[in-house]
Structure 1
Amino acid sequence: MKPNIKNIAVLTSGGDAPGMNACIRAVVRTGIYNGVNMFGVMQGYQGLINNNIIPMDARSVSNIIHLGGTILKTARCLEFKTEEGMEIAFNHLKEREIDGLVVIGGDGTFTGAQRFGKKFGIRVMGVPGTIDNDLYGSDFTLGYDTAINTVIEAIDKIRDTADSHDRLFFIEVMGRDSGCIALRSAISSGAEAVLLPERETSLDELINQLEIGAKTKKSSSIVIVSEGHKAGGAYDVAKKVKERFNHYDTKVTILGHLQRGGSPSSFDRILGSRLGYAAVNELLSGNSMQMVGLFGNEIKATSIDEALTGHNFKLESDLLEMTKVLSI
């Protein structure tokens, strides 16, 4: 028997990601279409504790599908990790008779949702919104495609300077535990080398790759460094390489939070819309404690437990091999 859900709230938590607004829009309008009262929680779990919960209608989400960031704002909330904080948050939902919650975010967001849903029995549905693409249960997470496009655009401009001055650029991209952005950016920008958290790449191996390029008269080189690489960040790697390899004038660029911003790509707008639509329909069908994700071209649900503990080997073997073959 399907539950009689009358009120659903949506929040964004953790790091923002392009496409979150498209997802919020889909959540709100899908709920309203099905006769559900919709609410938005400002500043994530902090908003639940502060009782910053606002009613939303179809016009509340007009003209936002193209915007980066999140209109609901986001914040990291240490208080929500405590029993007392969760109790306060639940009471605020209870006051408004909210019986369904859609959370958009990454692993920290889902960890909070997991504990909250199990403790109080509230129906929870997750949407993977993180540029790192590091959650099990979805081939692509919301914001990942836009982040890669942002990185590629920056690298294309940097290469113009690198070619003009015979320079070696080390470009650091986001990815503390996941090299997905670094790997795909390296292939699509024609980088000479890439350093990933998942792989051990020795300094000797990197210098050997650069020496091959120098001997074949490459006018410049681009090395993509994922921020989580074991040898350190781009500055650390560049310093070590400079000590042993002086062919190029060495420069470092940290792209940082630039990768999180900007108007979402068409892919992320569609993905956000599909995931938001699916999340509400899953709740209305009686499902809970799950995450909706993209498998192939289908939207499927995975338990939040599995999304947090599963292993998704997203570094495609052919792409890893191509970084060597195509950089000669």
Structure 2
Amino acid sequence: MKNEVQSIAVLTSGGDAPGMNAAIRAVVRKGIYHGLKVFGIERGYEGLIHGMFREMNLGTVADIVHRGGTMLMTARSQEMLTPEGQKKAAEQLHHRGIDALVVIGGDGSFRGAQTLSVQSIPVIGIPATIDNDIPGTELTIGFDTAVNTVIESVSKIRDTATSHERTFLVEVMGRKSGSIALQAGLACGAESIIVPEIEADLDEVSSKLLRGHQRGKNHSIILVAEGAGSAYKIGEELRLRTGFDTRVTILGHIQRGGNPTALDVVTASEMGACAVDLLRAGKSDQMTARIHQQVIGLPLEVAYGPGKPFNQSLYDLANQLAI
């Protein structure tokens, strides 16, 4: 297939993540460097089904490497979940003579990619999600930026917590994954970190708050991943148990925005270039993965294997340092 790939397309799907633009840029420029035609598909699979294509050139991706979001935009597509929609998507690519597709997104986006792969369309997935919950890769595009956004926000919240002698619960994204809460919590010195992977022991959390108060600590920060329960309910329970004034801040979609960190830009650039190299080498139904600071290709099915292990040792360390 190496000599057969003359044109490729790229789309972003699912939730946006900082660094997606850097990945798009890498796919486009790496493809052009090797003499390929490159097309961008707007609005994810919805745009693929409805023919929202545009040919990309060097200038198309100028000055986007440092920007958050995705220049190609993204959308959910219910139609892509149906056999009819999948057939339409494949026909759009065949009709335009596009030989292969690069999909930038999370596990749901990869499932869409697999439906195209079984229709003989070479597909490579690039993992981009702030949750960092894709098995097989140590890092997904957007995660580092989201963690740093949380750390910056907590730094501001801590000023108010100190001034008013309050306990603040900061709810961060992560329905099934506590990775953002864990890494941000350790990095900002949170007193407790509550994640969906481990049942919260509110007795221990309360005891830790009381111990801190006894040694003169007048404020506390607790990070709560959204999938671990309502920060408001947890805050009220802690208030009843300790008598401390509690407040809740929900960071929400602010975690998805902003300029990507250098690590996310470098990772996205490496993954975008790797995706093109894999297609040129005749590979398909694979995902790019960062392992031991190297970006390689792995079977796409790895993303659907056993869930990504929770970093128990890091969680234990965070608790030990917050005694």
TM-score normalised by length of structure 2: 0.98
Q: Residue type of the partner of 1:271? A: T
2:51 is matched with 51
1:205 is matched with 204
Q: Secondary structure at the match of 1:10?
A: strand
Q: Distance in 1 between matches of 2:99 and 2:208?
A: 57
Q: Distance in 1 between matches of 2:192 and 2:238?
A: 13
1:64 is matched with 64
Q: Residue type of the partner of 1:243? A: L
1:294 is matched with 290
Contact 1:110–1:308 under 8 Å retained in 2 = no
Q: Distance in 2 between matches of 1:207 and 1:314?
A: 24
Q: Deviations over 1:283-306 (max 9, x none)?
A: 000000000010011111111111
Which stretch has the larger CA shift, 195-204 or 28-37? 195-204
Q: Distance in 1 between matches of 2:312 and 2:271?
A: 24
Alignment of 1:276 onto 2:275:
no
Q: Distance in 1 between matches of 2:311 and 2:125?
A: 24
Q: Deviations over 1:258-310 (max 9, x none)?
A: 00000000111111100000000000000000000100111111111111223
Select which of 228, 235, 238 maps to 2:235: 238
Residue 2 of structure 1 and its aligned partner are, at CA, apart by 2.8
Q: Distance in 2 between matches of 1:264 and 1:149?
A: 10
Q: Deviations over 1:74-111 (max 9, x none)?
A: 00101100011111111111111111100000011011
Contact 2:17–2:128 under 8 Å retained in 1 = yes
Between the two proteins, the alignment pairs up a number of residues equal to 323
Q: Distance in 1 between matches of 2:276 and 2:14?
A: 21
Residue 202 of structure 1 and its aligned partner are, at CA, apart by 2.1
Residue 32 of structure 1 and its aligned partner are, at CA, apart by 0.6
Counterparts in 2 of 1:1-328, with a 5 A limit?
2-118=2-118, 120-229=119-228, 232-246=229-243, 248-317=244-313, 319-328=314-323
Question: Which 5+ residue runs of structure 2 have no aligned equivalent?
Answer: none
Q: Distance in 2 between matches of 1:10 and 1:60?
A: 13
Q: Distance in 2 between matches of 1:298 and 1:123?
A: 23
Q: Distance in 2 between matches of 1:314 and 1:299?
A: 22
Q: Secondary structure at the match of 1:228?
A: helix
Q: Distance in 1 between matches of 2:128 and 2:193?
A: 25
Contact 1:105–1:127 under 8 Å retained in 2 = yes
Q: Distance in 2 between matches of 1:92 and 1:111?
A: 18
Which stretch has the larger CA shift, 198-207 or 121-130? 198-207
Q: Distance in 2 between matches of 1:109 and 1:236?
A: 33
Contact 1:291–1:302 under 8 Å retained in 2 = yes
Q: Distance in 2 between matches of 1:46 and 1:3?
A: 30
Q: Distance in 2 between matches of 1:290 and 1:283?
A: 9
Q: Distance in 1 between matches of 2:230 and 2:11?
A: 33
Q: Distance in 1 between matches of 2:185 and 2:4?
A: 49
Q: Distance in 2 between matches of 1:12 and 1:210?
A: 43
Q: Deviations over 1:11-52 (max 9, x none)?
A: 000000000000000000011111110000000000011110
Q: Secondary structure at the match of 2:227?
A: coil
Contact 1:137–1:301 under 8 Å retained in 2 = no
Q: Distance in 1 between matches of 2:15 and 2:304?
A: 17
Aligned structure 1 segments of 4 or more residues deviating by more than 3 angstroms: none
Q: Distance in 2 between matches of 1:96 and 1:56?
A: 14
Q: Distance in 2 between matches of 1:267 and 1:202?
A: 34
TM-score normalised by length of structure 1: 0.96
Q: Percent identity?
A: 48
Contact 2:2–2:279 under 8 Å retained in 1 = no
Q: Distance in 2 between matches of 1:222 and 1:298?
A: 35
Residue 121 of structure 1 and its aligned partner are, at CA, apart by 1.1
Q: Deviations over 1:96-146 (max 9, x none)?
A: 11111000000110111112212x110000000000000011111000000
RMSD, aligned α-carbons: 1.1
Residue 314 of structure 1 and its aligned partner are, at CA, apart by 4.5
Q: Distance in 2 between matches of 1:114 and 1:212?
A: 52
Question: Which 5+ residue runs of structure 1 have no aligned equivalent?
Answer: none
Q: Deviations over 1:151-182 (max 9, x none)?
A: 00000000011011100000000111111100
Contact 1:20–1:142 under 8 Å retained in 2 = yes
Q: Residue type of the partner of 1:33? A: Y
Q: Distance in 2 between matches of 1:46 and 1:180?
A: 30
